[in-house]
Structure 1
Amino acid sequence: MKTKAKFIIGNLYMTPGAIEALDHDEIMTALSRHESGDWGDVSASDAAENELSIRDGFRILSSYESRSGTNFWIITEADRSATTILLPSEY
């Protein structure tokens, strides 16, 4: 059962590093978590900031770790036009 999205993710983009490092199932699971408000491995203050960002229209950042141990981020732009999946080194 899919969890209800808390915001629109817009167009989806992935960086070359994320495409190479992550598999489809991991991406889809993390994206579902991101849009439902499960921010992954972020601090409590960053999680609170994401909640405010949903309400006030700012950028949203989630952080996850793949099964192989690769850290990756999902960032949704403030205007909700786009969401990008990337490795922290590609930021």
Structure 2
Amino acid sequence: MSKRKFPMGQLVATLAVIELMRKESINLEELFALHVAGEWGSVSEATRADNERALAGGGRLVSIHEAAGRRVWIVTEADRTRTTALLPEEF
């Protein structure tokens, strides 16, 4: 996997994500690692382009990864102070 492409700040996850990870024995750190490497997962082409612009000039970064048949969104704030894992319905 590629090296880190940006600082992630504080890593947080919603209770629903933590429960899903625990129930399905999924390592959330692996999803964070994909995100920070610029592996955006199943985002739209528009979001992928937004992410690439945000890497160069600043802005929010979003990735979507599958875990146990559920989508988990990972969002890094524009100021890079926090990265949050959440389910789509929690956005």
The TM-score with structure 1 as length reference comes to 0.90
Q: Which residue of 2 aligns with 1:20?
A: 19
Q: Distance in 2 between matches of 1:89 and 1:53?
A: 24
Is the partner of 1:71 in helix, strand or coil? strand
1:51 match:
52
1:72–1:88 contact (8 Å) kept in structure 2: yes
Q: How many residues align?
A: 89
Query: What secondary structure, in the 3-state scheme, does the structure 2 residue paired with 1:22 have?
Result: helix
1:81 to 2:81 alignment: yes
- SS of 1:8's equivalent in the other structure is coil
Residue range with higher mean Cα deviation, 17-26 or 37-46: 17-26
- Partner deviation per Cα, 1:24-80 (whole Å, 9 max, x = no partner): 6431221111001110011122111101011111000000110x2011100000000
- 1:3 corresponds in structure 2 to 2
Pair 1:40 & 2:41 matched = yes
Q: State the one-letter code of the partner of 1:33.
A: L
Question: What stretches of structure 1 move > 4 A for 4+ residues in a row?
Answer: none
Deviation sequence 1:6-27 (CA, Å, 0-9, x none): 1000000110110111246431
Gaps in structure 1 of 5+ consecutive residues = none
TM-score relative to the length of structure 2: 0.90
